[in-house]
Amino acid sequence: MTNPIAVFLTLLILAGLGYDLIWMDGQATLVLSRKFFDLIEWVAFWR
């Protein structure tokens, strides 16, 4: 991965988070974080 691609992806993620926090009150971030913690729990079970 080159530096321009990494910068672009970082800005894209930050823009998505900013959009979610300003217009959607952080609902998508909350749902994704809950799903991520469920995934971690599930993967830890198979360890």
Is residue 33 a contact partner of residue 26, using CB atoms and an 8 Å limit? no
> Each residue of 1-47: pLDDT tens digit?
899 999 999 999 999 999 999 999 999 999 999 999 999 999 987 77
pLDDT score for 40: 94
Dihedral (C-alpha) 5, 8, 10, 14: value to the nearest 10 degrees?
-160
Question: Which value, in Å, is the radius of gyration of the alpha carbons in the chain?
Answer: 14
pLDDT score for 12: 98
CA distance 22 to 1: 30
pLDDT score for 11: 98
Angle (CA) 41 27 10, round 5° = 80
Number of domain units in the chain: 1
pTM score, whole prediction: 0.71
Task: Tell me the residue length of the chain.
Answer: 47
pLDDT score for 46: 74
Place of tokens 């360890």: 47
pLDDT score for 47: 72
Q: 7: domain range?
A: 3-46
